Amino acid sequence: MTQGQRHTFLLCRGATYAANTTTEEQAVYFSEVYGGGGKRRDVLPTPTPTSSVEETRSEPASTSSVFVNTSAEQRSLLTDEGLANVPLLKQEDPEFYQLLEEAERAIEADILPERIYQGSSGSYFVRDTHRKIIGVFKPKNEEPYGSLNPKWTKWLQKKCFPCCFGRSCLIPNQGYMSEAGASLVDAKLGLEVVPKTRVVALASKTFNYTAIDRAKARSVRFATEHFPDSLGKKMKNGLPPKVGSFQRFVLDYRDADSWIRRFQESPLPAHIQVYFQGLFEKLVCLDYIIRNTDRGNDNWLIRYAKEGTTPESSIFVAAIDNGLAFPYKHPDEWRAYPYYWAWLPYANRPFSQQTKDLLLHKLKDLALVQEMIDGLHDLFSLDKGFHKDRFQRQSSVIRGQILNLCQALETGMSPLELVQMPLLRIESESTSKRNSFIQRFQDKYPFFTSC
């Protein structure tokens, strides 16, 4: 694939009430934030916003393709083979584009992505030409629901125990979009806890391909080597690119669980502890808004540098593994998928003034919230399995989470109190002249609430 054909999707730009709050009080608050009479609010149409590793070395062919973000007019649906050609738009995020260019050069130099052993799907460390890890790539068709998931235990579970497989509240095989969507929300709200993530397409012989794809790649290489001036010159040299999420790799971070145990033995200095509490609250707000169903203390990271001269240069938080978020309904069957950070001591402290100042005015800004949801719509609609009705249900969960978070911030609640609030959705009903919002409370709850 030529330089002019490589594109990268730079697509990531980007509250239920307390248990002791009555329905009437909730309706009053809903009226204050969204207007109307507590049940509906009529608004003018929102303008469209401007926008440990396993190696495989036996296959002879490898290639890579990087796809860069398109405008709304140029956007095309994703397919299993990649994307329709669109004009290159490097200017939208040149730094990220350069990162992907480096990944491509490394693959062409036979410095190939390496599969990560952990996790339930195929994910890969991507390196640069100096063999330094620069990103994590998660192909769509190697997700737990994907047809080419290399983790045979998940395949066995899916085939033999389908009733125990997956999360019924999530849209299947959309993890790569969820990863990119979390980065979009993070950027839109200025949280800065999610490493930049984009939807891209890459190809490498270390990815999991069918035997037919690999045979085709060998044939292509044979043609390229033996007929360089005719047939081979006109053929794509390698395996088909895989669409998936590409997340910038964060260096010198460790899982939060190990750091938190260390902090309990050797507490942080007071001024760093205050700053870390603020970072923790940003993570809480992100997970709550996107309703992350898979946030354990092993998939968010902490970096602590004792030699830092200021809190900002001493401790950092990174929210990775956001592929199981954006449900189209609250969990209501077997499992509740709780936020495991809610059992940490940091979750017992009320939200800080710093967090309130950062988020409250943004979350109460209807135009900004709608712009964020429109951005998610533009992102998710790129997938060929996109359904408008399902997205409307996803957005209703997001709006309900935002409403609850607003009240929690205003009333001085803690993260623990936030997750104990009754669940609700804010559903949008559009007419020819206006949009209306309807508040609906969750009336069905999962059997198990602690897992």
Q: Please write the tens of the pLDDT for every residue from 39-75.
A: 333 333 333 333 333 333 334 334 444 443 333 333 3
Q: What pLDDT band is residue 138 in, cutting at 50, 70 and 90?
A: very high
What pTM value is reported for the model? Answer: 0.80
pLDDT above 90 covers a percentage of the chain that reads 55
> Does the pLDDT value for residue 158 go beyond 80?
no
Q: Are 342 and 419 in contact (CB under 8 A)?
A: yes
Token look-up 């309706």 returns 27
Burial class of residue 411, CB neighbours in 10 A (0-12, 13-18, 19+): middle
Running DSSP on this structure, what letter comes out for residue 233? G
Which residue in 178, 181, 111, 124 sits closest to 151, CA to CA? 124
Measured between alpha carbons, how far is 145 from 175 in angstroms, rounded to an integer? Answer: 9
- Give the β-pairing of 242-248 and 133-139: antiparallel
User: What average pLDDT does range 348-358 have in this prediction?
Assistant: 97
Q: Are 314 and 300 in contact (CB under 8 A)?
A: no
Does 310 or 31 have the greater pLDDT score?
310
Q: What pLDDT band is residue 19 in, cutting at 50, 70 and 90?
A: very low
What is the per-residue pLDDT across 414-451, written as a single tens digit (0 to 9) for each?
A: 999 999 999 999 988 766 566 778 888 888 888 787 77
Which residue in 5, 1, 7 sits closest to 201, CA to CA? 7
| CA end-to-end span of the chain | 46
Put residue 68 in one of left, alpha, beta given phi > 0 → left and psi -120 to 50 → alpha. beta
Residue-level pLDDT at 159: 64
Burial class of residue 30, CB neighbours in 10 A (0-12, 13-18, 19+): buried
Does 72 or 166 have the greater pLDDT score?
166
What is the per-residue pLDDT across 264-298, written as a single tens digit (0 to 9) for each?
A: 999 999 999 999 999 999 999 999 999 999 999 98
Does 118 or 249 have the greater pLDDT score?
249
